[in-house]
Amino acid sequence: MRRQVVIIGSGPAGLLLGQLLGRAGIDTLILERSTREHVLSRIRAGVLERGTVALLEKAGVAERLHREGLVHSGVELAFDGDRLRLDLAALTGGAGVSVYGQTEVTRDLMEAREAAGRPTVFEAGDVEIRDIETACPSVSFTVHGERRTVACDFVAACDGFHGIGRRSVPEGALRTFERVYPFGWLGLLTDAPPVTDELVYANHPRGFALLSMRSPTRSRYYVQVPLETRAEDWSDERFFDELRLRLPAGMASRLRTTPSIEKSVAPLRSFVAEPMRFGSLFLAGDAAHIVPPTGAKGLNLAAGDVHYLSSGLIEHYREGSDAGLDRYSERALGRVWKAERFSWWMTSMLHRFPGTDAFAERMQRAEFDHVASVRSAAANVAENYVGLPF
Ligand code: RFL
Ligand code: PHB
């Protein structure tokens, strides 16, 4: 069997790449380790930048997003009970973000792929990538106990941080950069109307808290927790009690304890692998970089990579030019590092770091006051939050 492009991973990066290439007449096969149901049950991101929305439009999968997604033209920061609303629209000349769950983006893309009859192999085990230093790479995998091999022109590793793609690059060809933060986020999803109209990111002496949402009837909340925290040890009551303690008084009093649909702990990490290409293998999304979720950038960065990679591949097949592919890593990384900076900055300003000193805490407060009082500082945060242009 032969395909033009084999995509590993059916998360947002792999699915969006498959959709954009498919619409351009390029033949793709997606190999996914998990089941379809498992991929659709992972609760992750909730905020889409305008560039991500535009790319989903281009991919022909934005109809439900426009119908059901919530457009937010502001976001709130809180510090020890003091509140600051960033008017994203006023600070950026009209931009905002869309609140629409990653689960929904994934579902829309999967349904579009199925409707177009493009192939995906779920539960593809032991994926192995070979000959990426040549123009004839191949990918082998096991499905229903049978080993298969597919030859192709290119392999796109969209298989997340723990995937096989990055590990298939020869030792020494990649340089990696990493920062692991000494805390995680405990997230809770609940069927209750959000207590605020916009997202609220709060720094409090007890730790960071975030009020987010998925729809007018579904809320998503997070609290900073020690790394060793187990979600099972946190009852819904305990979670809401802690969340209330970290919020400005007016918000805390409106927050009711409602049953959780999902509760999980996510560690926080910054990570970049350079370059994002080795021969015929391209890395995209979490396979190449991780940001802490504080800036809501992970899924959006995956979309940015897919924008550059899809246009390079389309140029290759349509015009016979490799200029876009040759520049892929450089163009993607330019945007990645800016988002790494923003996510690191938001994380540094809003969390309580164990063992930190009073000077570091005053610096956090000074950052908040600076954004609150200097318009250009607020505009800088707003421009990054709505997303830098591709
Ligand atoms: P994914 O979504 O991890 O998908 C990778 C897919 O590859 C499969 N896979 C394999 N398949 C075959 N063979 C192998 N060897 C394989 N190894 C792995 C996996 O099963 C999976 O299906 O990566 P992708 O597509 O790059 O997408 C990245 C995003 O999922 C991620 O960046 C975001 O979820 C990050 N993120 C957020 N991003 C935002 O833009 N806005 C947010 O508000 C936001 N909030 C978050 C987040 C991530 C969080 N967690 C849990 C890490 C909030 C949280 C709590
Ligand atoms: C979410 O709704 O899951 C979410 C929103 C904003 C973030 C991170 C996560 O910065």
Mean pLDDT of 210-235: 97
81 assigned to some structural domain: no
Q: Which residue out of 12, 194, 292, 293 is catalytically annotated? A: 293
Which residues, judged by CB distance below 6 Å to any ligand atom, belong to the binding site of ligand 1?
A: 8-14, 31-34, 39, 44-47, 102, 124, 127, 158-160, 162-164, 185, 187, 266, 285-286, 293, 296-300, 302
Kindly state whether residues 132 and 219 are assigned to the same domain: no
Kindly state whether residues 203 and 162 are assigned to the same domain: no
Q: 222 catalytic, yes or no?
A: no
- Here the CATH number for the domain that contains residue 232 is 3.30.9.10
Kindly state whether residues 138 and 258 are assigned to the same domain: no
- Residue 309, CA distances (Å) to 79, 155, 233, 317, 365 in order: 40, 11, 42, 13, 40
Kindly state whether residues 40 and 101 are assigned to the same domain: yes
Q: Which residue's C-alpha comes closest to atom 5 of ligand 2?
A: 46
285 assigned to some structural domain: yes
Probe target for ligand 1 pocket from 49, 164, 211, 299, with the most ligand atoms within 8 Å of CB = 299
Probe target for ligand 1 pocket from 39, 40, 159, with the most ligand atoms within 8 Å of CB = 159
Q: Which residue's C-alpha comes closest to atom 26 of ligand 1?
A: 285
The 10s digit of each residue's pLDDT in 136-186 is: 999 999 999 999 999 999 999 999 999 999 999 998 999 999 999 999 999
Mean pLDDT of 74-86: 96
Q: How far apart are CA 308 and CA 311, in angstroms?
A: 5
Kindly state whether residues 187 and 165 are assigned to the same domain: no
Gap from CA of 292 to ligand 1 centroid (Å)? 12
Kindly state whether residues 127 and 261 are assigned to the same domain: no
Q: 119 catalytic, yes or no?
A: no
236 assigned to some structural domain: yes
233 assigned to some structural domain: yes
- Residue 166, CA distances (Å) to 44, 161, 326, 335 in order: 22, 8, 18, 19
Radius of gyration (C-alpha) of the chain in whole angstroms: 21
Kindly state whether residues 160 and 33 are assigned to the same domain: yes
Instruction: Say if residue 208's pLDDT is above 90.
Output: yes
Kindly state whether residues 275 and 164 are assigned to the same domain: yes
370 assigned to some structural domain: yes
Mean pLDDT of 190-199: 97
What is the pLDDT at residue 235? Answer: 98
381 assigned to some structural domain: yes
Residue in the structure block whose two tokens are 């002496």 = 205
Helix H, strand E, coil C: the string for 57-97 is HHCCCCHHHHHHCEEECEEEEEECCEEEEEEHHHHHCCCCE
Q: Which residue's C-alpha comes closest to atom 23 of ligand 1?
A: 160
- Domain of 221? 181-268+352-386
The 10s digit of each residue's pLDDT in 247-280 is: 999 999 999 999 999 999 999 999 999 999 999 9
Instruction: Say if residue 1's pLDDT is above 90.
Output: no
What is the pLDDT at residue 69? Answer: 97
| CB distance 47 to ligand 2 below 6 Å | yes
Mean pLDDT of 322-343: 98
Gap from CA of 91 to ligand 1 centroid (Å)? 30
Specify the pairing of strand 120-121 against strand 218-225: unpaired
- Residue 279, CA distances (Å) to 157, 167, 188, 295 in order: 13, 14, 42, 32
Kindly state whether residues 361 and 216 are assigned to the same domain: yes
Closest CA to 26 of 317, 308, 323, 311: 317
117 assigned to some structural domain: yes
Closest CA to 57 of 231, 233, 286, 307: 307
Q: How far apart are CA 2 and CA 136, in angstroms?
A: 10
Long-range contacts (CB closer than 8 Å, 24 or more residues apart) made by 234-241: 234/186, 234/263, 236/188, 236/190, 236/260, 236/263, 239/186, 239/188, 239/263
Mean pLDDT of 191-204: 97
First to last CA, the chain: 35
Gap from CA of 288 to ligand 1 centroid (Å)? 11
Total domains in the chain come to: 2
Computed over every residue of the chain, the mean pLDDT equals: 97
The 10s digit of each residue's pLDDT in 345-380 is: 999 999 999 999 999 999 999 999 999 999 999 999
Gap from CA of 251 to ligand 1 centroid (Å)? 31
Q: 293 catalytic, yes or no?
A: yes
Kindly state whether residues 187 and 301 are assigned to the same domain: no
Mean pLDDT of 66-79: 97
Gap from CA of 383 to ligand 1 centroid (Å)? 24
What is the pLDDT at residue 322? Answer: 98
275 assigned to some structural domain: yes
What is the pLDDT at residue 18? Answer: 98
Q: Please tell me the number of the ligand nearest to residue 342's CA.
A: 2
**Could you tell me the pLDDT band of residue 213, with boundaries at 50, 70 and 90?**
very high
Instruction: Say if residue 222's pLDDT is above 90.
Output: yes
Instruction: Say if residue 43's pLDDT is above 90.
Output: no
Task: Answer yes or no: pTM beyond 0.95.
Answer: yes
Kindly state whether residues 278 and 255 are assigned to the same domain: no
The 10s digit of each residue's pLDDT in 120-139 is: 999 999 999 999 999 999 99
- Here the CATH number for the domain that contains residue 20 is 3.50.50.60
Instruction: Say if residue 45's pLDDT is above 90.
Output: no
| CB distance 194 to ligand 2 below 6 Å | no
Q: 72 catalytic, yes or no?
A: yes
Q: 297 catalytic, yes or no?
A: yes
Kindly state whether residues 340 and 275 are assigned to the same domain: yes
